[in-house]
Amino acid sequence: MAAQQSPATGTPGDSPVRAEDRWSLVFAAGLISFVAMLDMNVVNLALTDIADALDVSPTTAQWAVLGYQLPLVALLLPAGRWLDQVGLRAALLLSVGCFALCSALAAVAPWASWLIAARLAQGAFGAVLFVLMPVLAATAVRPELRGRAMSVPATLGPLGAVTGPVIGGLLLDHVGWRAIFLVKLPICLAAWLIARRDAPRGGGRLRLPDRGSLGDAALIGSAVAAVLLGLTLAPDAPLWLLLTLPSVPLVLFWLRRPGGRPVAGVLRASGTAAVNGSVLALAAGFAANHYLLAQYLRRDDGESATSTALTMLAFPLGMVVAGRFGGRLADRWGARPTALTGAAVTAFGLLLLVPVDTDWSPADIAWRLAVAGVGMGLNGGPVQALVMTSAPPDQLATAGSAVQLARSLGFALGPALGTAATLYGATEVAGIRAGLTLAGIAAALAVGLLTLHHRTNRTKDAATGGANGGGSTTGTNRTIRSRV
């Protein structure tokens, strides 16, 4: 009986059992998710101001964004491996504190090299935060409440991503570019204080990553950089796509290394490779759609910045509303069918936007974005819970890093893929439609991958006689409890 009432275990080395659910830590995970995703987009609008203020070229100023994104993506998987070996509390306090410190250093940067160095360091600590989000939410409550808990960071994270340009624009107009780095400090402080008060004490001590992890980061970072550069430069000259080719052998070589084998092992053991693929595809479709529509409203439809921002906010509003119910549905109905339904609704909403035309009003675009946002809200928490509950309990951080890498890659690749697709349109509007079509196809691919995962697991359940009640994670939860 006691085993049934105990919450999920912490990361290896932490306090094994807690007597109550710690929803304050779930809220802290949501705050961390919001601020980490906000930082991916809030700086974009400030690049011109940064270049003028620090007297550098626009290309150099671009590193205020790339300096954060590249280490973030490159270190996600090594960070997961490292977090499986250290204490959650110590890693959480260190990463949140250093993330905030780097943001403050960026805000007072007197020259470009200072700013870029601060952003590179912030991206490294951001990678740790990205991995900690799902681990913190998953281990703060009992397994049967994980869908509800995972919906908090899974909703607030994309909310930070889509509201980043709006917040950045307001701060630039009324305060200045340095404020975009300072606005995150109160949120980081709140998350740090909650973690210091409520995170379980004890656990393993912090230690430096081994050399193998640094080698893994170099391989992954090189592969990601090659893909991003190839897609970014391809609109000017398609031959730049050849830059993406080295990414394949780099990834294959990494999978044969000690750092890559555990990740592949977790994906095989949990059977969530298709789920991670769906996360990447859905994030890419969303990011491409969001980027192209913002460009269309400002450039082609002649909407003001305020009107564009209000129109684009329909997506996060729909996501927030649905996110409140997505976790509850996952806990009652099952994570797999809820995530699949959310992906299908998102794909439907994105496909509704494909025939966009100049006679559409902002309201015509907004309600379609709201439909897609509802789908993302239904999908985010359940798909995260599906991954975390399927993973071996002693490898939660590794599983979390894999899904966060998939989502981050999707957000990074989406705008580049959408821009490349616009080249196939005879007119600007036709090009936007081509990009939006690609975004809808990516979302539809996510639906197919989740369907494949659902059918594969139903087949396994039938073969073992352990049906999961329509796609729930009850069987896995019993396994986790028995290990607690």
For residue 357, give the CATH number of its domain.
Answer: 1.20.1250.20
| Alpha-carbon dihedral sign for residues 70, 72, 76, 81 | positive
The amino acid occupying position 199 is: A
Asked if residue 354 lies in contact with residue 383, where contact means CB atoms within 8 angstroms, the answer is: no
Neighbours of 358 (CB within 10 A): 9
Cα–Cα distance for residue pair 355/351, rounded to 1 Å: 8
In a domain, 237, yes or no: no
What would the pLDDT profile of 322-368 be if each residue is shown by its tens digit?
A: 877 777 787 788 888 888 999 999 999 999 999 988 888 888 999 99
At 18 the pLDDT is 44
The amino acid occupying position 408 is: S
Asked if residue 315 lies in contact with residue 443, where contact means CB atoms within 8 angstroms, the answer is: no
Cα–Cα distance for residue pair 408/47, rounded to 1 Å: 21
* Cα-based distances in Å from 324 to 41, 179, 191, 341, 380: 24, 31, 21, 15, 11
Asked if residue 148 lies in contact with residue 327, where contact means CB atoms within 8 angstroms, the answer is: yes
Neighbours of 262 (CB within 10 A): 15
At 212 the pLDDT is 67
Structure tokens at 396: 């939660």
* DSSP assignment letter at 145: G
Asked if residue 236 lies in contact with residue 247, where contact means CB atoms within 8 angstroms, the answer is: no
Residues of the chain below pLDDT 50: 1-19, 461-484
| Alpha-carbon dihedral sign for residues 18, 403, 476, 204 | negative
In a domain, 221, yes or no: no
Asked if residue 409 lies in contact with residue 73, where contact means CB atoms within 8 angstroms, the answer is: yes
Neighbours of 5 (CB within 10 A): 11
In a domain, 94, yes or no: yes
At 442 the pLDDT is 94
Radius of gyration of the chain, Cα coordinates, nearest whole angstrom? 21
Asked if residue 418 lies in contact with residue 296, where contact means CB atoms within 8 angstroms, the answer is: no
Residue ranges of alpha helices (H) inside 45-111 are 47-54, 58-61, 63-74, 76-83, 88-107
Chain length of the chain:
484
Phi, psi of 204 (to 5 degrees): -70, 155
Structural domain that includes position 127:
2-9+20-209+259-483
Cα–Cα distance for residue pair 300/296, rounded to 1 Å: 5
In a domain, 223, yes or no: no
Please name the residues in contact with 437: beta carbons below 8 A apart, sequence gap of 6 or more.
354, 421
In a domain, 243, yes or no: no
Structure tokens at 467: 């049906």
Give the closest residue to 372 by CA, choosing from 329, 432, 312, 438.
Answer: 312
At 476 the pLDDT is 38
Give the closest residue to 95 by CA, choosing from 125, 120, 116, 66.
Answer: 125
3 state DSSP class of 13: coil
What would the pLDDT profile of 299-323 be if each residue is shown by its tens digit?
A: 655 666 567 767 877 888 888 788 7
Neighbours of 479 (CB within 10 A): 15
How many domains does the structure of the chain reveal?
A: 1
In a domain, 232, yes or no: no
Per-residue b/e over 106-131, b at no fewer than 16 CB within 10 Å?
Answer: bbebeebeebbebbbbbbbbbbbbbb
Cα–Cα distance for residue pair 322/316, rounded to 1 Å: 10
In a domain, 249, yes or no: no
362-390 vs 474-483: helix crossing angle, rounded to 10: 40
Residue pointed to by tokens 């671009």: 62
At 293 the pLDDT is 86
In a domain, 236, yes or no: no
DSSP3 helix / strand / coil % (the chain, rounded to 5): 80, 0, 20
